[in-house]
Every structure is written in C-alpha cells, then in structure tokens.
Structure 1
Amino acid sequence: MALDLAMKERLDRFTALLLHWNATLNLIAARDAAVVWDRHITDSLQLVPLLPAGVTRGVDLGTGGGFPGLVLALATGIPFDLIEADRRKASFLRTAVLETGAPAFVHACRIEAADVAPASLVTARALAPLPRLLPLAARLLSVDGVCLFLKGAKADAELAEVRQRWRMTVTRFPSQTSADGVILRITELSAGLSPDAA
C-alpha cells in the first residue's frame, strides 16, 4: 500500500523503537533486524486492503512486537486494542503507542482475561493453531465481524480440523511476503457443527 509521509514517519519511528528494544527483549528474531520492513511491517500492511468497510475498532490477539495490530493502527488510524500477556512486551507496546501517537490501547493480560468489548475486526499473526485461536477470537468478535489471520503452511490442515466444530466462511489470500504463508479472512464465525461436516 502507498504510505503518505506522516504515516511513513510514524512507522519508521516504530521500527527504530522496535530495533532498540530488541537488543534486550526478544521482539523479533535477530536475523530479521536487517529485513524488518519486508518481514514484519509489509507483512502486516498487506492486511489493509482486506479490512472490512467502515471498521471503527480492531482487537489484535497476542500482539508481541506490534504485529499486525500496532502497524495497522499506525497505517490506518483505526483504534486497536492490543492484547499481550508478556509484561515486558506490553511495556514496549505502551512505549511505542506513546511515542508514535498510535490510536491503540495495550492490555497486559491473557486473551481469556481481557476485558475488551467485541469489535468488528479481530487480527492475529502466528499466535496459535486455529483450534485454539477461534475460541479466543469468537468472544471478542462482534456480530458480522471479520477475522484476519496471518497463517503459515499448516493453514489447510488447521481449517480441516476446526470445520467439525465451527461454522464460518473462509476466504484465502496468498501472502505477499512468505512463499508458504496465507491470509485467512473469516466471516460468519460461530460455534456449532458445520453443515458440510458429514
């Protein structure tokens, strides 16, 4: 996506903070420092065209180093609730929100304990397999909401596993940054036996 100058400056500031904190806190792999834009920023930004129209708030599960939730907040101006159980990573996220002016609020707790109202958008990146991820997302997703999950090579196997217990419409998009990566756009999510689960 095209970034205006102010957006690019905010993302550059965030990247500088990330690399500074990464010297003492494992936010990204050390080998990714030289390719942080391609490996992490661009990876998160590829979700922007898939955002639901008129979304007013998002919830990012297991934000870690800020991906994708904080990057999306910076790039779009959409307010995000960032949920991160690791207190040190949450401290980094709070600092990044403060220093970049991102429209985001950090919740330093487990996802199951987060006191967050459901939102029309729930995102996650490499957090957990779908059998664990969907129950976490479902409680924070509003009716008619959309989940955007950045997944790896096991996405199809995970989808096959959860189809017995979840109703949903899934659209797959190939990752622009990972050869075996995929973005899952999930709508109409609800627990219950899928009609095609015979």
Structure 2
Amino acid sequence: MGSLSVRSPDLWPASLAKERLDVSRETYERLCLYEALLKKWQAKINLIGPVTVDHIWTRHFLDSAQIVAQVRDHSSLYPGAEKGEKPSWLDLGAGAGFPGLVLACFDAGPVHLVESDQRKCSFLRQVIRETGVNATIHHSRIEQLAPFPVDIITARALAPLDQLLAYGEKFCTPQSEYWFLKGRSVQEELTRCQQSWTVEAELFESWTDPQAILIQIRAASRAG
C-alpha cells in the first residue's frame, strides 16, 4: 500500500473502536499509512499542532471517525435507504485532512476536500494516491469554488456556524445535512447563528474531548 513503513499505533482506543466503529483491516492499514505520511510531512510544513503529533490516533483520527458512526446512526442519508448507497461529502478547509480524509479512509462515500494552501493540497494528494481512497482535492478558496451538489458538508475548526452555513449553502440540496466538529462555544455559536438562519440542530457529545461537540444541522435556510 506504499513505500513507507508503518507500525501499529499504541494509542488507538481499541475497545471503543470495536464497539462503535467498523474498522476493517483495509481501513486500519490506510490509517497507518496516513499517520506515517503525516509525520513525514510534518517535519517540512506545519500540518497539525506539535503537541498532538504523539496523539494522532485519538486527537485526529478518532475525533474525525466518530462522524462515520454518528451519521450512520442518526442520518437518513447513510446508508442510502435499503440500497446501501453512501453519501457524498464536502470537507470545507480540509487542512491536513480532518475530518474528510479520515472519512475517505473509512470508505464513507466519495469525499471532496477544499483547501486553498498549495502545500497542504500536495500532502493530501500523496495520501490519496498511496492509500487509494475515494477523494478529490479542490485547490481553491471556498468562495471561489464552483457549486456542485453534495449530501453532507463537514468542517473542523474552520469558522463559526453562521459562516459555515454560508460557505456550504451553494452546495446544498433540500436533503443535505451539515456535520461539524465544534468546541465549547458551540451553544453560543448556535444562538448567534439562529439570528440569521433557521435550522434543525442536534448535539452529540464528542468521543475524544469532554469540552467538544459534534453538531448535526438539517433543513438550514436563511431566516426571513
């Protein structure tokens, strides 16, 4: 699966993964290769916070992968009715690939990653090439990217909720959903967002951080 050697992670919370995530051998191998490439590139460009390098499997991989389980359990989009179809994803401001590239490693469906930084795009392309995941890179600012319809829009640590909804608006269909990884200020953001947006929202406790929240937003429309 690649020329880099990888080792089994000692920080992966195996019991949690076994109970709530379907981690196949292929997914595990893809994540191992992703980790090795991330550490290699981290020496050249700042992809993740230095203090999280030794906690990639929990701080980044599991934090992102929890979306797979929550969407599976709480969204009508996954899987696509009884046909077993998988939703299409758009990751806004993909950065080092969280959560979008992790979703692709779990074969959650076709993933589009939007990133304006050329060096980060080069990193993402190498991970995609060596892992063989179903993902497409869009080297562009979100505002300048031509719209195309997707089922689920996601982001991590990019912008407040109202701005994220504005970014994603042109990619939405009436059935589309937003799934965002947010921090402790999510309730304040949601209150502020509801001044200009009408939304149906549900909050889920993070698997990895007691201060964090995963928020699902449906039926988003501009108020008034």
TM-score when scaled to structure 2?
A: 0.83
- Contact 2:89–2:153, Cα closer than 8 Å, also in 1: yes
Query: Does 1:161 pair with 2:161?
Result: no
Question: Where does residue 26 of structure 2 map in the other structure?
Answer: 6
Alignment partners' CA distance in 1, 2:101 and 2:220: 24
Question: Where does residue 41 of structure 2 map in the other structure?
Answer: 21
Amino acid at match of 2:131: T
Alignment partners' CA distance in 2, 1:190 and 1:183: 20
Instruction: Tell me the SS of whatever aligns to 2:47.
Output: coil
Instruction: Tell me the SS of whatever aligns to 2:106.
Output: helix
Instruction: Tell me the SS of whatever aligns to 1:106.
Output: strand
* Deviations 1:69-124 (CA, angstroms, capped at 9, x unpaired): 01001102411110001111111111111111010010011011112412011010
Query: Does 1:192 pair with 2:212?
Result: no
Question: Where does residue 150 of structure 1 map in the other structure?
Answer: 181
- Contact 1:121–1:145, Cα closer than 8 Å, also in 2: yes
Amino acid at match of 1:44: S
Instruction: Tell me the SS of whatever aligns to 1:138.
Output: helix
Range with greater deviation from structure 2 (84-93 or 113-122): 113-122
The Cα shift of 1:149 comes to: 0.1
Query: Does 1:47 pair with 2:78?
Result: no
Amino acid at match of 2:183: G
**How large is the Cα RMSD of the aligned pairs?**
1.1
Amino acid at match of 2:138: H
- Contact 1:169–1:186, Cα closer than 8 Å, also in 2: yes
- Mapping 1:27-66, distance limit 5 Å: 27-51=47-71, 52-53=77-78, 54=80, 55-66=86-97
The Cα shift of 1:50 comes to: 2.4
Amino acid at match of 1:66: G
Q: Aligned residues, how many?
A: 193
- Structure 1 residues without counterparts, runs of 5 or longer: 194-198
CA pair 134-154 structure 1, distance change in 2 beyond 3 A:
same
Of 100, 114, 121, which aligns to 2:131? 100
- Structure 2 residues without counterparts, runs of 5 or longer: 1-20, 72-76, 81-85
Q: Which has the higher strand share?
A: 1
Instruction: Tell me the SS of whatever aligns to 1:144.
Output: coil
Question: Where does residue 69 of structure 1 map in the other structure?
Answer: 100
Alignment partners' CA distance in 2, 1:167 and 1:137: 15
